[in-house]
Amino acid sequence: MIFEVFRQERRGQAFAHAGSIVAPDMEFAEAWAREQYGRRQESEALWIVPRDAVTEVHDFPDELNKTYHRVDGYSLKAKLKEARERAGTAAS
Amino acid sequence: MSERAQRLLELADDELILGWRDSEWTGVAPSLEEDVAFSSIAQNEIGHARALYELAARDLETTADELAFDRDPSEYRSAPLVELRRMDWAHTIARHWLYETADEIRLESLKASEDAEVAGLAAKMDREEAYHRMHAAMWVGRLRGDERFETAVDDLWPYALGVLPEEQRGELAERIGRPVVDAVERGGHSDELRELWEEMTMVRRSVPGATW
């Protein structure tokens, strides 16, 4: 069986995919993942998930090119600068 | 040599030699995952050996490295169980399980010791050994009843008893489920230990007196 392992590096952080483990059952997967991804104190916690339990979704059609769903070209930097300036003026 | 230094050396030598033997599986363990796990366990054992040698070295006014590498093989206090070489996986897991079970009994008694330094170190080691025991238990759960594994446990049983002093052997027999028999005692060493020593100390002996 293949198990996917997710690793949390610091308390409070999001878990990120670390890699996978081939193991006969969850007991072996846990022991092996512990050594593979935790022996150097590089993990705060692990999630170990049988690959079969993961639902993959990969189809995201965008036939009509709806660029307004995206943030490209939208300069947050300029807006922020402007907002800060206004706030600065208001405060003084 | 004080009784305390002697006991520390027995324990340190067991952990060093076993760590060395277990690391011989690095690269050739039954699966990649097990390879990483077993190598990591081997490194833990060597880490325990270092801490124990450091404690003994203070009593003996020497250093951990000198104790680990500069003694003659005949001076090592390790149990013959940990010296055995070139075993198959069944024997390796049998030894792992027998040793960890014996070590648990030994650590329980050291944790209750009036010597605060020894008790403290034993408690630290035990927190790591708990995972070694989990690893051993998981393999035993899978191999128990398998003829090769049971034969391996039978082969190594007299050696396992030799890890512990006589008064703790009954407890080991109970936990393993086998009767107390004549043990292969500490003190005698196989030729296999000398071979291991030659390899283990080769780099250090190549430049005597160097600081690493």
Instruction: Report domain extents, chain A.
Output: 2-53
pLDDT digits (tens, 9 = 90+) for A63-89: 888 877 777 767 788 888 999 999 887
In a domain, B166, yes or no: yes
Residue A78 burial (10 A CB sphere; 0-12, 13-18, 19+): exposed
Q: Do B131 and A39 touch (CB under 8 A)?
A: no
In a domain, B212, yes or no: no
Domain that holds residue B23: 3-206
Q: So what's the ipTM on this one?
A: 0.81
Tokens of B106: 């030994």
Counted domains in chain B: 1
Whole-structure pTM over 0.90, yes or no?
A: no
pLDDT digits (tens, 9 = 90+) for B155-206: 999 999 999 999 999 999 999 999 999 999 998 887 889 999 999 999 999 9
- Residue B7: give its domain's CATH number: 1.20.1260.10
Helix, coil or strand: residue B86: coil
Q: Which residues in chain A are contacts of B138 at CB distance < 8 A? A: 27-28, 31
pLDDT value at position B40? 95
Residue of A5, A32, A34, A37 for testing the chain B interface, max B β-carbons within 10 Å = A32
Q: In chain B, positions 152-211, which contact chain A (CB-CB < 8 Å)?
A: none
Helix, coil or strand: residue A7: strand
Q: Do A35 and B41 touch (CB under 8 A)?
A: yes
pLDDT digits (tens, 9 = 90+) for B63-93: 999 999 999 999 999 999 999 997 899 999 9
B1 in A contact zone (CB under 8 Å): no
Nearest CA in chain B to A31: B135
CATH 3.10.20.520 matches A2-53:
yes
The full DSSP string for A47-89 is EEEEGGGPPP------TT--GGGS-TT--HHHHHHHHHHHHHH
